[in-house]
């Protein structure tokens, strides 16, 4: 059995992590052994390795926060989920491994015939996209929402979920080569960021009022989105891909009453009731299992390739997610 472990953090994320072997675990009461089928590498995972994320696990730690596995052994007192059942890994378990131990009672069964690569990405990005659309502004069908980093994992899920809810999207990307993928995902308007963004957005939407803007980049990109929302609009930041603090002109706050909010999925999990969480995963899981919600995948890597995988995930110009698919 293997796991991707790190004992320190540093500015080069792949430098700290390595694939190591570990002994077969002894299962306790109520536990099961899971063979990991797939686990993605998210921006939050990269920031955890560099020490820049909002919550850092104690060291040494195993990388990975989400994924899917199948039950391969039962501990004492366990009969369900049955052997061979595909399940969602509990968040924060350390999913970059060939096998993990989990409490049977915490496991959510998933369809065995669904694509495990797509299911592996359902814990973080799809709920983030869904909640960004619903938690801050009561948007009605036909309204516009604008987002940057639209070619990211969250961005593409947001495009698909918005379309299902009857919303129209303005999608901002940082390079010309990213436009086609967002258009293919269903983005109504796709624009490359720039100093005249507000003028181009107004022209593309026919001067329609935009009440919600979603920012994953920070820096001046935040300010450009602030210039696109209408009076009383809400701007929500959930990331800092630029590595810079959000910048918003006082003109947006003072003269147009724009508000800046923040969103972190970990806080939502902390506050949401178990029924709320199960409802969220039930909806997301059904859409993914039936192919109605999906994300692009650039490449998959085995655990011994963990350094290459993390380096690929940290690269600035990707064309989809990087996933760990352990070979057993």
Residue 167 sits in the same domain as residue 77: no
Residue 138 sits in the same domain as residue 111: no
Q: Average pLDDT of 13-35?
A: 97
8 A C-beta contact, residue 169 and residue 189: yes
> Is 53 tagged catalytic?
yes
Domain that holds residue 65: 2-121+295-324
CATH classification at residue 189: 3.40.50.720
Number of domains in the chain: 2
Residue 111 sits in the same domain as residue 138: no
Q: What angle do CA 208, 175, 250 make, to 5 degrees?
A: 50
Per-residue pLDDT band at 317 (split at 50, 70, 90): confident
Element (H, E) at 223: helix 220-226
8 A C-beta contact, residue 145 and residue 169: yes
What pLDDT does residue 54 have? 85
Q: Is residue 307 part of a domain?
A: yes
Q: Count of H helices and E strands in the chain?
A: 11, 16
What pLDDT does residue 179 have? 96
Which residues in 123-143 are b (16+ Cβ under 10 Å) and which e? bbbbbbbbbbbeebbebeeeb
CATH classification at residue 93: 3.90.180.10
- List the catalytic residue out of 6, 53, 238, 301: 53
What pLDDT does residue 238 have? 96
Q: What angle do CA 32, 37, 39 make, to 5 degrees?
A: 105
Q: Is residue 290 part of a domain?
A: no
| Lookup: tokens for 192 | 């490359």
Residue 115 sits in the same domain as residue 147: no
Q: Is residue 302 part of a domain?
A: yes
219: left (phi over 0), alpha (psi -120 to 50) or beta: left
Residue 97 sits in the same domain as residue 17: yes
pLDDT at 319 over 90: no
Residue 226 sits in the same domain as residue 146: yes
Q: Average pLDDT of 127-145?
A: 97
Domain termination residue (choose one: 265, 286, 303)? 265
Q: Is residue 288 part of a domain?
A: no
76 secondary structure, DSSP code: T
Residue 237 sits in the same domain as residue 301: no
Domain termination residue (choose one: 265, 285, 309)? 265
Rounded Cα gap, residues 197 and 236, in angstroms: 18
- Beta-bridge partner residues of 168: 144
Phi, psi for residue 175 in degrees, rounded to 5: -155, 150
Question: What pLDDT, in 10s, does the model give residues 175-221?
Answer: 999 999 999 999 999 999 999 999 999 999 999 999 999 999 999 99
Mean pLDDT of the chain, nearest integer? 96
Residue 39 sits in the same domain as residue 72: yes
Rounded Cα gap, residues 34 and 24, in angstroms: 12
**pTM, 2 dp:** 0.91
Q: Is residue 219 part of a domain?
A: yes
Q: Is residue 280 part of a domain?
A: no
Residue 32 sits in the same domain as residue 100: yes
What pLDDT does residue 318 have? 82
Question: What pLDDT, in 10s, does the model give residues 276-315?
Answer: 998 999 999 999 999 999 999 999 999 999 999 999 999 8
Residue 100 sits in the same domain as residue 40: yes
Domain termination residue (choose one: 265, 280, 314)? 265
- Beta-bridge partner residues of 297: 321
Residue 101 sits in the same domain as residue 169: no
Question: What pLDDT, in 10s, does the model give residues 57-109?
Answer: 999 999 999 999 999 999 999 999 999 999 999 988 999 999 999 999 989 99
Q: Is residue 107 part of a domain?
A: yes
Q: Is residue 276 part of a domain?
A: no
| Lookup: tokens for 188 | 């109504």
88 secondary structure, DSSP code: E
Q: What is the DSSP string of 123-189?
A: SSHHHHHHHHHHSS----TT-EEEESSTTSHHHHHHHHHHHHTT-EEEEEESSGGGHHHHHHHT-SE
Residue 18 sits in the same domain as residue 96: yes
What pLDDT does residue 328 have? 85
């Amino acid at each position: 059995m293997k796991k991707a472990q790190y004992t320190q953090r540093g500015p080069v994320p792949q430098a700290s992590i390595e694939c190591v072997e570990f002994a077969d675990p002894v299962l306790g009461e109520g536990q099961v052994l899971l063979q990991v089928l797939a686990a993605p590498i998210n921006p939050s995972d990269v920031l955890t390795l560099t020490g820049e994320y909002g919550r850092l696990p104690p060291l040494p730690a195993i990388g990975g926060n989400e994924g899917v596995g199948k039950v391969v052994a039962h501990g004492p007192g366990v009969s369900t989920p049955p052997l061979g059942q595909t399940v969602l890994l509990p968040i924060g378990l350390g999913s970059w491994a060939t096998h993990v131990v989990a409490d049977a009672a915490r496991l959510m069964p998933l369809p065995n015939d669904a694509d495990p690569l797509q299911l592996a990405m359902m814990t973080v990005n799809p709920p983030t996209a869904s909640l960004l659309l619903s938690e801050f502004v009561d948007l009605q069908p036909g309204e516009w929402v604008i987002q940057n980093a639209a070619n990211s994992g969250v961005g593409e899920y947001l495009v698909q979920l918005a379309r299902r809810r009857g919303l129209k999207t303005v999608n901002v990307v940082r390079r010309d080569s990213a436009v086609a993928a967002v258009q293919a995902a269903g983005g109504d308007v796709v624009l490359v960021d720039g100093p005249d963004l507000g003028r181009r957005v107004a022209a593309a939407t026919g001067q329609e009022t935009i009440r919600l803007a979603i920012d994953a980049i920070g820096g001046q990109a935040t300010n450009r989105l602030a210039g696109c929302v209408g009076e009383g609009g809400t701007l929500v930041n959930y990331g800092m891909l630029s590595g810079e603090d959000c910048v918003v002109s006082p003109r947006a706050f003072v003269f147009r009453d724009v508000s800046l909010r923040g969103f972190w999925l970990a806080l939502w999990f902390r506050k949401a009731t178990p029924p709320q969480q199960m409802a969220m995963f039930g909806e997301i899981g059904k859409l993914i299992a039936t192919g109605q919600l999906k994300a692009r995948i650039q490449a998959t890597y085995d655990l011994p390739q963990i350094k290459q995988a993390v380096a690929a995930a940290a690269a600035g110009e990707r064309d989809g997610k990087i996933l760990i698919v352990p070979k057993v």
